[in-house]
Structure 1
Amino acid sequence: MKIQFVNVTKEFAVRGERFTALSEVSLDVREGEFLTLVGPSGCGKSTLLDLLTGLATPTSGLILIDGSPVTGPGLDRGIVFQQYALFPWRTALANVEFGLEAKDVPRRDRPALARKYLDLVGLSGFDGRYPHELSGGMRQRVAIARSLAFDPDVLLMDEPFAALDAQTRESLQEELLQIWAKTGKTIIFITHAIDEAVYLGQRVAVMTPTPGRIRDVIPVTFPTREGDLRAAPRFGEYRHAIWTLLHEEATPVA
């Protein structure tokens, strides 16, 4: 397995009391898999990514990448946030070059490599634009290109399309699938949107309300991805199954 969460619990101290964000989470992610993670607000989805990036440590349990424990941040993991987190004083090209600087790529080689990744996300010809000169969807493309530029094994995406309009969001979903097909990256994608989870994921991990646990993992397969996939009967079946899991967890037992 590429990634393993083994009985991971994360607690925080809040006003002198212990708050459990995640409780005994166990989850395996295969090499090259596109896994989506869906759950209600506050269920610990982002905390799970923080632990995987090494920005936080679990209270108990173990997180492994390629069989080795995660002990801190590393260039084997890239992350894309909901907010674009671009440097406003840098052009699109220079923002992507930042990822190459982190890998100590020689200065003379950076522009051509950065353009390669801008091309990959559909931004050929926009390398000289500053973030304020780009639309929201274009800024997110730059953020994705920057994360891809240092060639991480794992790409972590924390609701990256949540702030975009519906048309742009669907367009970027399709582009992300094309990027995944070309690069073979292992992707973990967090979302609140069930449709987005079903459309993107090979499997959908469903989380419970706080404290976050893995309620179930739903494999998603389609005979073909041609045409309007969201209108397919099987798409609706997956959507309803995940909605039911989330609804059952959210409904208190009498």
Structure 2
Amino acid sequence: MTAHISFRGVTKTFPVRGGSGGSGRSRRAGEPGGRGRSTEFTALDGIDLDVGAGEFVAVVGPSGCGKSTLLDLLGGLAAPTSGEILLDGRPVTGPGLDRSIVFQQYALLPWRTAQGNVEFGLEATGVPRRQRAARAREYLSLVGLDGFEERHPHELSGGMKQRVAIARSLAYDPDVLLMDEPFAALDAQTRESLQDELLRIWRRTGKTVVFITHGIEEAVYLGGRVAVLTSRPGRVKEVVPIELGERAAGRDLRSSPEFARYRHEIWSLLHDEVSRAQQLEREVSQV
């Protein structure tokens, strides 16, 4: 597999004033670099991960393990403390039109229609008005929102809002789609429906997708591979290839023995990490 995205020894720390840094890697007053009661909080520690072009990789881990930080770094919204992230061999140094992020919060402009929200990102890239309108309609159709172009966000359900957010992210044709728990706030039925829609869109567009989730079943259902992170500080514990064949409509894949086997494998990898994360939270709360 030729790497489209490469994390090479990526570590991210944050300065913290007062209290505990929340990991074994911290600097306190009197130590080199220490000042006052400042500490260093280590979110990610030595991440090594490759993602191939057109691949769908899901990332799971305990709460607070740095999953969203990893996505922020890949999106160029933050810089690694050490190590590097490469996109087609070139270092990621900031945001770019080659990457797009879909967050859990829809972040739609309430005064704009669905079409206006999709057009918003195209305006910033200088796409002419007529082309913007045509492309917005095309991608709203792709996510199943034909006939809803003139609806405002308050007239849409949660699932529809997230479809608009996905259409907006795809409209300017990024190479990489980054998704930070985009379905976490939705009810189970809507979430499963959008998972199927996302797989359909992924197959049709051929985008490289990095999908952050806290749900094991969601990771197994969506990911061609699942990267399991350790408890804080986040490291790659294992990358599990998922071989379930075509996610055909009407096939109850989630009830299959193969699905159960992958779910149990990833649950087993996460079990000790979740226990360790809970113990750490108890220790921090007592400080």
TM-score (norm 2): 0.86
Report the RMSD for the aligned CA atoms in angstroms: 0.8
For 1:19-168, list aligned pairs within 5 A.
19-168=41-190
Give the match for residue 244 of structure 2: 222
The secondary structure found in structure 1 opposite 2:46 is strand
Instruction: Work out the CA distance in 2 between the residues paired with 1:181 and 1:171.
Output: 16
State yes or no: 1:12 paired with 2:36. Answer: no
TM-score (norm 1): 0.98
State yes or no: 1:2 paired with 2:24. Answer: no
- Structure 1 residue 222, shift from structure 2 partner: 1.5
Identity of aligned residues (%): 70
- Structure 1 residue 112, shift from structure 2 partner: 1.1
Give the match for residue 259 of structure 2: 235
Contact 2:221–2:254, Cα closer than 8 Å, also in 1: yes
Higher mean alpha-carbon deviation, 102-111 vs 169-178, is at 102-111
- Structure 1 residue 103, shift from structure 2 partner: 2.2
Instruction: Work out the CA distance in 2 between the residues paired with 1:200 and 1:113.
Output: 26
Residue 120 of structure 1 aligns to which amino acid in structure 2? L
Contact 2:7–2:84, Cα closer than 8 Å, also in 1: yes
For 1:182-197, list aligned pairs within 5 A.
182-197=204-219
- Structure 1 residue 242, shift from structure 2 partner: 0.3
The secondary structure found in structure 2 opposite 1:19 is strand
The secondary structure found in structure 1 opposite 2:47 is strand
The secondary structure found in structure 1 opposite 2:127 is coil
Instruction: Work out the CA distance in 1 between the residues paired with 2:157 and 2:67.
Output: 27
Contact 1:102–1:150, Cα closer than 8 Å, also in 2: no
- Structure 1 residue 153, shift from structure 2 partner: 0.2
Instruction: Work out the CA distance in 2 between the residues paired with 1:39 and 1:20.
Output: 15
Residue 104 of structure 2 aligns to which amino acid in structure 1? Q
Residue 247 of structure 1 aligns to which amino acid in structure 2? H
Contact 2:62–2:273, Cα closer than 8 Å, also in 1: no
* Structure 2 unaligned residues grouped into runs of 5+: 18-37, 277-287
The secondary structure found in structure 2 opposite 1:104 is coil
Q: Per the alignment, do residues 223 and 138 of structure 1 end up closer, same or farther by CA in structure 2, a change over 3 Å counting?
A: closer
Contact 2:11–2:45, Cα closer than 8 Å, also in 1: yes
Instruction: Work out the CA distance in 1 between the residues paired with 2:202 and 2:117.
Output: 21
Please identify runs of 4+ aligned residues in structure 1 that moved more than 6 A.
none
Give the match for residue 202 of structure 2: 180
Instruction: Work out the CA distance in 1 between the residues paired with 2:72 and 2:40.
Output: 19
Considering only CA atoms, is the larger Rg found in Structure 1 or Structure 2?
2
Instruction: Work out the CA distance in 2 between the residues paired with 1:104 and 1:181.
Output: 28
Instruction: Work out the CA distance in 2 between the residues paired with 1:139 and 1:58.
Output: 32
